[in-house]
C-alpha cells in the first residue's frame, strides 16, 4: 500500500514552490530593468544621431522617412512627443505641425468642391504651391503628408487618411467615418480612371446586390461626396469630384 505524503512533506513542497515563484519574479524584474536601461541607451543614441544629422533629416525626405522607421523600431514616436519632447532635439518639429495646419487649410478651402475628400496627390500639389519657393528646400513627400494627416486624428473623426488602392490615399476632412463599402466604392472609382461609377459597375466588379450598391452610393451623395449625373441614357452615374484632377492627370499621362 502506497504511503500518503505527510504534512511536513507537503509544507516543504509548498515552500519550494514559493521559492521558485519568488526567484522567477526576481528574474523577470531584472530582465525588465535591463531592457529599460537598454532602451534608455538606444534613445540617447538616437537623440545624438538626430542632433548630428538634423540638417539632413530636415532636407532629405528619404532620410527623414528612414529616421522615422528607426524611431518606430524601438518604440519611439517623435511626433507624439510634442514641441517640448524628443522631436524638439531636431529643431524641425514645426515642419510637421505647420504641414498639419496647412493640410487643414487646403481641405477646408476645397470642401465645397470635393465634398470633404481630396486625393493625396492633389493635396501635395496644392501644398507645394501654397508653401511657395522659400520653403522648397523641405520637399514634401507622400510619407510626410500621411504622417502629418494622421496626427490630425486628435481633432476627432473629421480628419483621416483613407487608402483607396495600392499606394493611393485620400484625406477625409468631414465628420464621420467611411464604412468598408464606401471605401470600396472610392477604390473602384479610382481604379476606373474615370472618377465615376454606377450601380451596374459595382455589381459587376464587386459582386454586390443592387440594394447594397444603391445604399452605399446614396449615402455618399447625401454626404456631398458624390454627384449624380442623370444625363446618361442607360443609368445614373455617380461622380466623385475629389477624383477629377487625378483622373485628368492619368488620362494625359
Domain boundary among 161, 177, 193: 177
Based on the fold, state whether residues 193 and 169 are members of the same structural domain.
no
Instruction: Answer yes or no: is 62 within a domain.
Output: yes
Residue 146 has pLDDT above 80, yes or no: yes
Neighbours of 173 (CB within 10 A): 24
Q: Give residue 160's pLDDT.
A: 81
Based on the fold, state whether residues 189 and 173 are members of the same structural domain.
no
Residue 5 has pLDDT above 70, yes or no: no
Is the model more confident about 19 or about 81? 19
Based on C-alpha coordinates, what's the Rg of the chain?
Answer: 27
Tell me the pTM: 0.60
Query: Helices 142-150 and 93-114: crossing angle, nearest 10°?
Result: 90
pLDDT band at residue 253 under the 50/70/90 scheme: very low
pLDDT band at residue 207 under the 50/70/90 scheme: very high
Number of separate domains in the chain = 3
Boundaries of domain holding 238:
178-253
Burial class (CB in 10 A: 0-12, 13-18, 19+), 64: buried
> Residue 150's domain is classified under what CATH number?
1.10.10.10
* 224, 186 Cβ separation under 8 angstroms: no
Mean pLDDT of 141-158: 77
Residue 114 has pLDDT above 70, yes or no: yes
End-to-end CA distance of the chain: 92
pLDDT band at residue 208 under the 50/70/90 scheme: very high
Torsion from C-alpha of 161, 164, 165, 171, nearest 10 degrees: -30
Residue 55 is classified by DSSP as H
Residue 129 has pLDDT above 60, yes or no: yes
- How far is residue 169's CA from residue 56's CA, in Å, rounded to a whole number? 27
Based on the fold, state whether residues 172 and 97 are members of the same structural domain.
yes
Q: What is the DSSP string of 188-244?
A: HHHHTTSSEE-HHHHHHHH---HHHHHHHHHHHHHTTS-EEE---SSS-EEE-GGGH
Interval 33-76: pLDDT, tens: 776 676 667 777 777 777 777 777 777 778 777 877 777 776 66
Interval 209-238: pLDDT, tens: 999 999 999 998 988 888 999 888 889 999
Interval 159-204: pLDDT, tens: 788 888 778 888 888 777 778 898 899 889 888 778 889 999 999 9
Q: Give residue 157's pLDDT.
A: 59
Instruction: Answer yes or no: is 111 within a domain.
Output: yes
Amino acid at each position: 500500500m502506497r504511503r500518503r505524503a505527510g504534512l511536513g512533506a507537503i509544507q516543504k513542497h509548498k515552500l519550494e514552490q514559493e521559492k521558485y515563484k519568488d526567484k522567477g519574479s526576481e528574474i523577470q524584474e531584472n530582465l525588465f530593468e535591463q531592457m529599460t536601461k537598454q532602451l534608455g541607451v538606444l534613445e540617447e543614441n538616437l537623440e545624438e544621431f538626430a542632433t548630428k544629422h538634423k540638417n539632413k533629416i530636415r532636407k532629405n525626405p528619404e532620410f527623414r522617412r528612414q529616421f522615422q522607421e528607426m524611431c518606430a523600431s524601438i518604440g519611439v514616436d517623435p511626433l507624439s512627443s510634442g514641441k517640448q519632447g524628443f522631436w524638439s532635439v531636431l529643431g524641425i518639429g514645426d515642419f510637421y505641425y505647420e504641414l498639419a495646419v496647412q493640410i487643414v487649410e487646403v481641405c477646408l478651402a476645397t470642401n465645397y468642391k470635393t465634398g470633404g475628400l481630396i486625393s493625396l496627390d492633389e493635396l501635395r500639389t496644392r501644398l507645394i504651391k501654397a508653401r511657395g519657393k522659400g520653403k522648397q528646400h523641405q520637399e514634401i513627400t507622400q510619407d510626410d503628408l500621411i504622417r502629418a494627416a494622421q496626427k490630425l486624428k486628435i481633432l476627432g473623426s473629421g480628419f483621416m487618411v483613407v487608402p483607396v488602392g495600392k499606394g493611393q490615399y485620400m484625406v477625409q476632412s468631414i465628420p464621420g467615418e467611411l464604412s468598408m463599402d464606401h471605401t470600396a466604392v472610392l477604390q473602384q472609382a479610382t481604379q476606373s480612371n474615370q472618377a465615376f461609377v454606377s450601380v451596374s459597375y459595382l455589381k459587376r466588379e464587386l459582386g454586390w446586390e443592387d440594394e447594397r450598391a444603391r445604399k452605399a452610393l446614396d449615402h455618399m451623395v447625401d454626404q456631398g461626396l458624390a454627384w449624380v449625373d442623370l444625363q446618361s441614357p442607360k443609368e445614373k452615374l455617380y461622380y466623385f469630384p475629389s477624383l477629377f484632377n487625378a483622373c485628368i492627370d492619368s488620362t494625359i499621362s
